[in-house]
Chain A
Amino acid sequence: MTSHAEILPGTLDLLILKAVSLGDVHGYGVLLRIEQISGGALEIQQGALYPALYRLEHQGLIKSEWGRSDNNRRAKFYRLTALGRRRLGEEQASWNRLAEAMATALAATPREV
């Protein structure tokens, strides 16, 4: 199992949007999905999850609906809105640019300077 990595400040919203974009999911499911898609490297603090979910819902990026979980339990399911999908695209592109820039910067050798 991969050792846990720290979540960078400000990336929680992006991770939640990504998790929700993969299919309708309830709050606990978001935690599990982030863990799953990051290969267990990213673990979200449960206390931080709900404020983030409500903030995204307040901004109209996700919307929620009550439904039934796999084991037939009543749970609130989140789904990405069109606005959320657009934002996710923008954030993802922005993150990729940053990651690429960081990777390039960190791969630099003394000869390249």
Chain B
Amino acid sequence: MGKPPERPPFSPAGLLARARSLLRGVFRRSRVEAEMLEEFRAHVDLRTEHLVRQGLSWNEASRQAHREFGHAETHRNAARAARGLRVFDHIRFSWIDVKLGGRMLVKHPWLTLVAVMALAIGIPVGLAPMHVANAIEAPLPEDPGNRVRALRYWDPATTTATLATYEDFEYGSGRLSTFSALGAFRSGSYNVASEDGRGTPVTGAQMTASSFEILATAPLMGRVLGTADEAPGALAVALIGHDLWRARFAADPAIVGKTIRVGSKLRTVVGVMPQGFLFPLTQQLWLPLPRESAAAGGSGVRIFGRLAAGADAEAAQSELSAVGRPPTPASSDESRARLRPEVVPFGMLFLSVPRGGLDAEPGFYFFQLLALALLLVACGNVAMLVFARTATRFRELAVRTALGASRARIVTQMFVETVLLAVVGAGAGVFSVDWLLGRVNLAALAGEPALPYWLRLDVTPEAIVWAFALAIGSAAVAGVVPALRITGKRIQESIQRAEAGRSGIRFGGVTGALIVADVAISVAVVGFAMVLTQRVMDSRTAETLAGIPSEKYVAIQVRVPAVAERDPESPDSERVAATQIALVERLRSEPGVESVVVADALPRMDHRAVPVEVEGIERAEELRGRWVGTARVDIDFFQGLGHHVLVGRPFDAADLETPVRPVIVNTVFVDRILAGQDAVGRRLRILRSAPGTEGPWMEIVGVVGHLGVSMVNPQGAEAMYLPAAPGEIQPMQVGIRVASGPETLAPRLRDIVAEVDPTAVVGSPVVLSDVRQGDWYIMVAIAAGLGLLVGVLVVLAVSGIYAIMSFSVSERTREIGIRRALGAPRQQIVATILRRSLIQIGLGALIGLPIAARVYYEFGGSIPGQTSPIVAALVATSLAAGMVTVVAVLSCLVPTRRVLAVQASEALRAEG
């Protein structure tokens, strides 16, 4: 009542004051202490003066004042304690802690290995999302000052950026004062003829002369493109990249001034750019972007610029929003009005990422949290191991406490030991990621021939700093938490337990929850890893994957460029049609060729997925249809692949004449979307992002088997095929079935295409069974990653279970001895010991199993002889769950054997 309460009631102001005082005491310790001593001196002086006024001599007064005040050091310590700072006095990191920590690493090699492995995977996984988000926003290599920004027109409804026009570029160039210069470019693919006259495709870009001013990269030889090159009637020129110069022109030192054929036009080489200059993505050829060509082409350009001195990106954004876009004719569509002009980092010009960056996406935080949650699970497991290791040292800790070591001192030491473990883990993680990044084909993972040159995912110094910060954080979780628990309030009780021959430590519910979580995640992930592994294995047998003998087909990509490269994006469709018809005729006349098919995607290749609504099937408003892989195919496509239409009819020439064309779907579509009902005669339409803009209703006229629409899920992916007339598919994938094997035709394919159309840009011929596109690489990478994750989780769970089982067995040796002496049967003792672990393992498997089954079902895993996907999912994932459970149960065996080896008399004698 009258006595002030021990702890003041909670108040934000009080909390803030405490935090401020604590921080001041920690970070300004010497100043705080100097002030304290000065205050004490002032106190003594004031007292002395007071006593002098009462009649004492100065010397006497001073002596008495000092005597009354007492020892300043004592007051100082009491004052620090009052401020809650004493705990920091005990935290002193010393080399001895580090040495001790090092010794512990060596003394428990298995624990070290498991913990380091867990953190070596957990820390990079925790860092990855933020690292990728930062990489996308990093400045161009040519722009160390980070002054280059891109201008884009963002459609919030579709969350995509649309291309700008040349008029936008001109309009902005004259009006935006926050940019010192604006540039525009448009990328494309060009046939560049070499000495022997054969053309090979080269990625290039048409660029304004101002672009080179912005990038300010000096050419290796010659000059860059200038404004004079854009003038009407100017000499046709080209600037080439270092790699192109070396590979195609044998690093000819006299290349500048020579003429090369680009497409159908002869161009004079004006310069060679240095190695590493690949602007804007992976380009090797740069051509002028003259006004009349850009305006006539109609297709878009991309705009970027250098910020003017003193202007920042925010100012540029405000100005761009104010300036807007050039006025357009009234006929322009409403979607244009929706577009938002934005100033963004250069990399975001190519990505459908909101202006704030990847981290502005709502889904990003989910991934970041998921990654950190995995790290937390790893830390929890390491904590469990550290806890078990500390248990073996409990006597030492108890003795140290008895000798006066403070709690903070012991916690610090354990923290340092775990920091050492975590730093080794983080280092191992960073090095392995760096090593892997140098060896894994990231471009293939993204389904591209090469990654943009500015996208650097390597380990940066910043990433290393973050990795070590996470290591410290992990050590705080994995080291400090167990240490606090062990040195907790009941240490006295624990010491008494230790004196009685036990470790004095009890494992709580947290460790049990961790084991449950480990087993659950392992089981869930094992199911996913199984589907993917199955896919990777399946893709070896081409027949299974594509539904056709794909090893007999050779595929080649052909693109017919626009006349005089006026516009690489929208060519003359009549010319494309003529080339397609002539090429198919020419190929069919080749000896050994059995059939020729044309499509925008052949089996085994990535098919474009679109959302589809089927008439008569209700859908929720928020559910924008089912995603279905589509291919636009020539009307002889299925016959050409030797694949019969199972129900209904194949396409015929009349289908191309109707205003709304029919479609053919695959059996998976029928099973999954139509629930096995009759498909022929039903109608479907393609949904678009904005409501009210759905495509026309199209009638299903036939059903075909699976034709390898998705590498990830060849037999389980819904697909539909749309008929396309010659000229409508660009670029076209041409598949040729060769009786004598594709190897005989492949080397001559380029020449054959060149005979038909010398301007056509031809890709490399590839046997269809060797096609491995983006999805396949992603699948392998995910399967490998998940495999590793499962491995680590299982090892962690097993080590945790093993450590805790061993520990509890040695804890209960005395009890077991007594029970055996009293005649308890072995089975009963084993059951008592195993019960807890078995419940944890079983609970984990039960939680993980439905997740695994769901994933397995979604990805359409199958087992031989089993046709029902639900049964297949349950059987396969139960096997996975069983596997994980068996491994977990095995980890209990060694400690259990030890229980059975306990002799009653020995146990009692040893512990008594």
- B521 CB to nearest A CB, Å: 44
Say which residue of A47, A58, A75, A98 sits within 8 Å of B42 (CB atoms): A75
- How many chain A residues have a CB neighbour from B under 8 Å? 39
Check A51–B42 contact: CB distance below 8 A. no
A3 located at the interface, meaning its Cβ lies under 8 Å from any Cβ of chain B in the complex: no
Check A51–B82 contact: CB distance below 8 A. yes
Check A83–B13 contact: CB distance below 8 A. yes
Check B21–A57 contact: CB distance below 8 A. yes
In the bound complex, residues from chain B placing their C-beta under 8 Å from that of A66 are 35
B69 located at the interface, meaning its Cβ lies under 8 Å from any Cβ of chain A in the complex: yes
Check A59–B69 contact: CB distance below 8 A. no
Produce 1/0 per residue, B61-72, CB < 8 A to A: 000000011100
The chain A residue sitting closest to B77, CB to CB, is A51
Say which residue of B8, B36, B74, B78 sits within 8 Å of A59 (CB atoms): B8
Given contact pairs A59-B14, A60-B13, A60-B14, A94 touches B46 in the complex (Cβ within 8 A): no
B747 located at the interface, meaning its Cβ lies under 8 Å from any Cβ of chain A in the complex: no
Check A99–B79 contact: CB distance below 8 A. no
In the bound complex, residues from chain A placing their C-beta under 8 Å from that of B246 are none
Given contact pairs A27-B39, A59-B14, A60-B14, A50 touches B79 in the complex (Cβ within 8 A): yes
Check A69–B46 contact: CB distance below 8 A. yes
Check B2–A51 contact: CB distance below 8 A. no
A110 located at the interface, meaning its Cβ lies under 8 Å from any Cβ of chain B in the complex: no
CA distance A109 to B81 in the complex (A): 47
- B9 CB to nearest A CB, Å: 9
Given contact pairs A50-B78, A59-B17, A76-B35, A91 touches B4 in the complex (Cβ within 8 A): yes
CA distance A81 to B14 in the complex (A): 10
CA distance A94 to B3 in the complex (A): 8
CA distance A72 to B8 in the complex (A): 36
In the bound complex, residues from chain A placing their C-beta under 8 Å from that of B68 are 46
Say which residue of A10, A28, A54, A58 sits within 8 Å of B3 (CB atoms): A10
B47 located at the interface, meaning its Cβ lies under 8 Å from any Cβ of chain A in the complex: yes
CA distance A13 to B8 in the complex (A): 12
B649 located at the interface, meaning its Cβ lies under 8 Å from any Cβ of chain A in the complex: no
CA distance A71 to B42 in the complex (A): 12
CA distance A75 to B22 in the complex (A): 23
Produce 1/0 per residue, B8-52, CB < 8 A to A: 100101101110011000000000000110111011011101100
Check B39–A76 contact: CB distance below 8 A. yes
CA distance A87 to B45 in the complex (A): 32
In the bound complex, residues from chain A placing their C-beta under 8 Å from that of B3 are 8-11
Q: Tell me the residues in window 60-115 of chain B with beta carbons closer than 8 Å to chain A beta carbons.
A: 68-70, 74-75, 78-79, 81-84
Check A46–B70 contact: CB distance below 8 A. yes
In the bound complex, residues from chain B placing their C-beta under 8 Å from that of A75 are 39, 42, 46
- A37 CB to nearest B CB, Å: 17
A41 located at the interface, meaning its Cβ lies under 8 Å from any Cβ of chain B in the complex: no
- B186 CB to nearest A CB, Å: 64
A4 located at the interface, meaning its Cβ lies under 8 Å from any Cβ of chain B in the complex: no
B1 located at the interface, meaning its Cβ lies under 8 Å from any Cβ of chain A in the complex: yes
In the bound complex, residues from chain B placing their C-beta under 8 Å from that of A8 are 2-3
In the bound complex, residues from chain B placing their C-beta under 8 Å from that of A71 are 49
- A101 CB to nearest B CB, Å: 8
In the bound complex, residues from chain A placing their C-beta under 8 Å from that of B74 are 47
Check A51–B75 contact: CB distance below 8 A. yes
- B87 CB to nearest A CB, Å: 13
Say which residue of A82, A83, A94 sits within 8 Å of B2 (CB atoms): A94
CA distance A83 to B10 in the complex (A): 11
- A67 CB to nearest B CB, Å: 11
Check B2–A58 contact: CB distance below 8 A. no
Check B40–A50 contact: CB distance below 8 A. yes
- A2 CB to nearest B CB, Å: 18
In the bound complex, residues from chain B placing their C-beta under 8 Å from that of A14 are 4
Produce 1/0 per residue, A6-30, CB < 8 A to B: 0011110110000000000011100
Given contact pairs A47-B70, A59-B18, A91-B4, A73 touches B42 in the complex (Cβ within 8 A): yes
Check A52–B4 contact: CB distance below 8 A. no
In the bound complex, residues from chain B placing their C-beta under 8 Å from that of A10 are 2-4
- A70 CB to nearest B CB, Å: 10
CA distance A11 to B68 in the complex (A): 21
Check B39–A95 contact: CB distance below 8 A. no
In the bound complex, residues from chain A placing their C-beta under 8 Å from that of B13 are 60, 81-83
**Which A residues are closer than 8 A to B by beta carbons?**
8-11, 13-14, 26-28, 32, 46-47, 50-52, 54-55, 57-61, 66, 69, 71, 73-76, 81-83, 87, 91, 94-95, 97-99
Q: Jot down 15 A-B pairs with beta carbons below 8 A, ordered by A.
A: A9-B3, A46-B47, A50-B39, A51-B79, A52-B82, A60-B18, A69-B46, A74-B42, A75-B46, A76-B35, A83-B11, A91-B2, A91-B4, A97-B2, A98-B2
12 further A-B contacts with Cβ under 8 Å, apart from A28-B50, A51-B78, A69-B46, are: A46-B47, A47-B70, A54-B83, A55-B82, A58-B17, A58-B21, A59-B17, A75-B46, A91-B4, A97-B1, A98-B2, A99-B2
